Amino acid sequence: MRTPISKFLPHRRDVLRLGGYGLLGSFAEQALMPVEARAAGKSNPRGTARFAIVIELAGAISHLDSFDFKESAGTPKDLDVRPVRNNLYLSQRLFPEMSKEMDKVSIVRSMKSHEVVHFRGQYYTQAGRPLNPAIAPEIPSVGSVVSYEFEKQRRETDTFPTYIGCNLDTSGCGAITTGFLHPKHSVLDINLKAGVGATAVEGEALQVLDERYRLLHELDKAMAPSREGRDRAFGSFRDFQHSAHQVLGDARWPKAFAMTKEERERYGENEVGLGCLLARNLVQADAGTRYIHITHPDWDHHKNIFNHASKSNHYIRCNEFDRAMANLLRDLSATASPREKGKTLLDETMVVMITEFGRTPGALNGNAGRHHYNPAYISLFAGGGVKPGRILGATDKDGLTVVDTGWKYKRMQPKTENVYATIYSAIGIDWKKELTNTPSKRAYRYVDVLGATEMVMDDEIADLFV
Within 136-165, the residues that bind other proteins by CB under 8 A are 161
Regarding 334 and contact with other proteins (CB under 8 A), the answer is no
Q: Taking CB under 8 A as the rule, which mask of x and - marks residues 359-388 in contact with other proteins?
A: ------xxx---------------------
Calculate the CA 32 to chain-centre distance. 26
Calculate the CA 296 to chain-centre distance. 10
Regarding 169 and contact with other proteins (CB under 8 A), the answer is yes
Give the footprint of other proteins on residues 206-235 (CB under 8 A). 208-209, 211-213, 215-216, 218-223, 225-231, 233-234
How far is Cα 117 from Cα 407, in angstroms, rounded to an integer? Answer: 27
Stretch that binds other proteins, among 2-10, 80-88, 378-386, 420-428 (CB under 8 A): 2-10
Calculate the CA 246 to chain-centre distance. 25
Regarding 32 and contact with other proteins (CB under 8 A), the answer is no
Sheet containing 433-435, strands listed edge to edge, beginning at the edge strand earlier in sequence:
37-39, 433-435, 444-445
The correct pick among 37, 40, 88, 117 for binding other proteins (CB under 8 A) is: 117
Phi, psi of 53 (to 5 degrees): -120, 120
Orientation angle between helical segments 232-249 and 203-227, nearest 10 degrees: 160
Phi, psi of 229 (to 5 degrees): 80, 5
Type of residue at 102: M
Regarding 186 and contact with other proteins (CB under 8 A), the answer is yes
How far is Cα 175 from Cα 262, in angstroms, rounded to an integer? Answer: 30
Regarding 309 and contact with other proteins (CB under 8 A), the answer is no
Regarding 426 and contact with other proteins (CB under 8 A), the answer is no
Nearer to other proteins among residue 243 and residue 335 (C-beta): 243
Regarding 247 and contact with other proteins (CB under 8 A), the answer is yes
Regarding 23 and contact with other proteins (CB under 8 A), the answer is yes
Regarding 252 and contact with other proteins (CB under 8 A), the answer is no
How far is Cα 407 from Cα 422, in angstroms, rounded to an integer? Answer: 12
Regarding 452 and contact with other proteins (CB under 8 A), the answer is no
Regarding 258 and contact with other proteins (CB under 8 A), the answer is no
The correct pick among 189, 250, 331, 347 for binding other proteins (CB under 8 A) is: 189
**Could you count the other beta carbons within 10 Å of the beta carbon of residue 5?**
16
Q: Residue 47 CB, nearest distance to other proteins (Å)?
A: 28
Burial class (CB in 10 A: 0-12, 13-18, 19+), 43: buried
Regarding 37 and contact with other proteins (CB under 8 A), the answer is no
Number of residues that bind other proteins (CB under 8 A): 80
Regarding 203 and contact with other proteins (CB under 8 A), the answer is no
